[in-house]
């Protein structure tokens, strides 16, 4: 495990986004005005095998998060076991989107776990030694993700290149953990 006490690197995120410009049509009616000047657009695509829901959301345009989009992402990433939500940290969404862009895939992420209620985290912890007692999932700051078209090593390298949070590679379970906590890496 590599540890660092520094938090998320804004420069790391901006570099990752600059290197992977997104050209996508917005999914909301008033976006045309935001798009004048060819500004930066950030997009997140995911689906949940647990709920059957899908999301393809432009959530950031020209330096501004779109509150309605962030609220939809928060709802999508809710604890599916309890139905409870916690606002998902913008930095986590940025890391997920930047890593996805670097992987150059059109396939959406499969979300395995976003926000976890304390009850869900305790239940999962009782079943697995790989679940942290004070998991960043309980703060809306982490996601466990999978892509069928990319290996966990490829996904982890893309997330690590953002230099912006924690990245755990769980090859045996075929997923990658991404969070906006301190910069660190581990294999589960």
Is residue 34, in this structure, part of any structural domain at all? yes
Q: Report the pLDDT value the prediction gives residue 125, as an integer from 0 to 100.
A: 83
Is residue 188, in this structure, part of any structural domain at all? no
Is residue 54, in this structure, part of any structural domain at all? yes
Place of tokens 């906006």: 180
Is residue 8, in this structure, part of any structural domain at all? yes
Taking residues 16-36, report their average pLDDT: 37
Full strand arrangement of the beta sheet holding 2-3? 2-3, 184-187, 166-170, 175-179, 142-146, 109-113, 41-47, 54-61, 64-65
Is the confidence at residue 3, as pLDDT, over 80?
Answer: no
Note the pTM of the prediction, 2 decimals.
Answer: 0.78
Instruction: Give the domain extent around 29.
Output: 2-183
Q: Report the pLDDT value the prediction gives residue 124, as an integer from 0 to 100.
A: 86
Is the confidence at residue 18, as pLDDT, over 90?
Answer: no
Is residue 134, in this structure, part of any structural domain at all? yes
- Tell me: the pLDDT tens digits for 83-98? 999 999 999 999 999 9
Question: Which residues are registered as beta bridge partners of 166?
Answer: 184
Is the confidence at residue 24, as pLDDT, over 60?
Answer: no
Q: How confident is the model at residue 11 (pLDDT cuts 50, 70, 90)?
A: low
Is residue 44, in this structure, part of any structural domain at all? yes
Total domains in the fold of the chain: 1
Taking residues 98-127, report their average pLDDT: 93
Q: How confident is the model at residue 37 (pLDDT cuts 50, 70, 90)?
A: very low
Query: Alpha-carbon distance 39 to 62, whole Å?
Result: 5
Is residue 150, in this structure, part of any structural domain at all? yes
Query: Alpha-carbon distance 67 to 8, whole Å?
Result: 21
Is residue 81, in this structure, part of any structural domain at all? yes
CB neighbourhood size of 127 (10 A)? 8
**Do the bridges between strand 2-3 and strand 184-187 make them parallel or antiparallel, or are there none, so unpaired?**
antiparallel
Q: Terminus-to-terminus CA distance in the chain, angstroms?
A: 10
């Amino acid at each position: 495990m590599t540890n660092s006490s520094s938090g998320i690197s804004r420069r790391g995120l901006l570099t990752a986004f600059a290197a992977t410009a997104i050209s996508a049509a917005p999914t909301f009616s008033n976006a045309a005005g935001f798009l004048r000047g060819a500004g930066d657009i950030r997009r997140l695509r995911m689906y949940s095998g647990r709920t059957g829901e899908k999301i393809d959301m432009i959530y950031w345009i020209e330096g501004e998060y779109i509150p309605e989009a962030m609220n939809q992402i928060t709802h999508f990433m809710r604890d599916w076991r309890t139905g409870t939500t916690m606002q998902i940290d913008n930095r986590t969404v940025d890391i997920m989107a930047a890593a996805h862009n670097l992987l150059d895939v059109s396939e959406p992420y499969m979300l395995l776990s976003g926000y976890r209620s304390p009850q869900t985290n305790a239940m999962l912890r009782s079943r697995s030694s790989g679940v942290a007692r004070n998991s960043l999932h309980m703060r809306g700051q982490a996601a466990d993700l999978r892509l069928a078209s990319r290996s966990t090593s490829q996904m982890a390298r893309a997330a690590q290149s953002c230099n912006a949070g924690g990245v755990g590679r769980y090859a045996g379970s075929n997923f990658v953990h991404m969070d906006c906590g301190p910069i660190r890496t581990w294999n589960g």
